[in-house]
């Protein structure tokens, strides 16, 4: 290889190395933003169905769009890294069987009302106004097949109580 050929190879190699380095730094800083407290990387809401809260007499309290977490990866992610949530949105966690449930608020930027519901959709317990970023366990007070997360204050605003029912439908 001639002197000019070596120089061109070096220049091309240098440009590629700089480009790869810049990409790595950009991707690395994105990951840090997602994990850093106080900064939010907005994970978009993905409507996958609808849910209604009902009183014991069957009157509809409120109808919401829902995002469904029905596998381990979705359930581990939950509403972490979300900066906002509308009172017309909820996330429902669907588990294979009814049993006592434990949740936490790690990496969750917004306060939530967390509702635990039995297999027949009856709300067995509620945890209103949960504390963002907390790793303290939030326990159901009974067996639950479903866990519903709504924006904090939702239950108080719309009068959702233990004993009420939820029904949902996938799109």
pLDDT in tens, 5-28: 666 665 555 565 545 444 444 444
The yes-or-no verdict on residue 95 having pLDDT over 70 is yes
State the DSSP H helix or E strand holding residue 15, giving kind and residue range, or none if neither: helix 3-35
CB 111 within 8 Å of CB 82: no
State the DSSP H helix or E strand holding residue 68, giving kind and residue range, or none if neither: strand 60-69
Q: How many CB atoms within 10 Å of residue 117?
A: 29
Look up residue 7 and give its DSSP letter.
H
Edge to edge, the sheet with strand 49-54 lists 123-127, 112-117, 138-151, 89-103, 60-69, 49-54, 165-170
The pLDDT assigned to 26 comes to 46
How far apart (Å, rounded) are the C-alpha atoms in residues 60 and 58?
6
pLDDT in tens, 45-72: 999 999 999 998 999 999 999 999 999 9
**154 and 123 together in one domain:** yes
The sign of the CA dihedral 111, 146, 88, 85 is positive
The pLDDT assigned to 7 comes to 64
The residue segments making up the domain with residue 92 are 49-170
Residue 42 lies in a domain: no
Q: Count the domains in the chain.
A: 2
**148 and 100 together in one domain:** yes
């Amino acid at each position: 290889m001639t002197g000019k050929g070596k120089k061109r190879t070096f220049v091309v190699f240098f440009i590629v190395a700089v480009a790869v380095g810049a990409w790595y730094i950009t991707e690395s800083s994105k990951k840090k933003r997602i994990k850093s407290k106080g900064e939010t990387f907005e994970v978009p809401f993905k409507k996958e169905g609808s849910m209604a809260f009902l009183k014991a007499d069957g009157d509809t309290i409120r109808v919401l769009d829902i995002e469904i977490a029905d596998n381990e990866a979705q359930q581990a992610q939950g509403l972490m890294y979300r900066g906002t949530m509308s009172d017309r949105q909820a996330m429902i966690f669907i588990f294979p069987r009814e049993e006592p449930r434990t949740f936490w608020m790690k990496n969750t930027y917004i306060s939530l009302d967390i509702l635990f519901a039995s297999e027949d959709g009856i709300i067995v317990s509620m945890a209103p106004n949960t504390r963002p970023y907390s790793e303290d366990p939030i326990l159901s007070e009974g067996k639950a097949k479903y866990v519903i997360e709504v924006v904090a204050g939702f239950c108080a605003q719309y009068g959702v109580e233990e004993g009420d029912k939820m029904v949902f439908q996938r799109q």
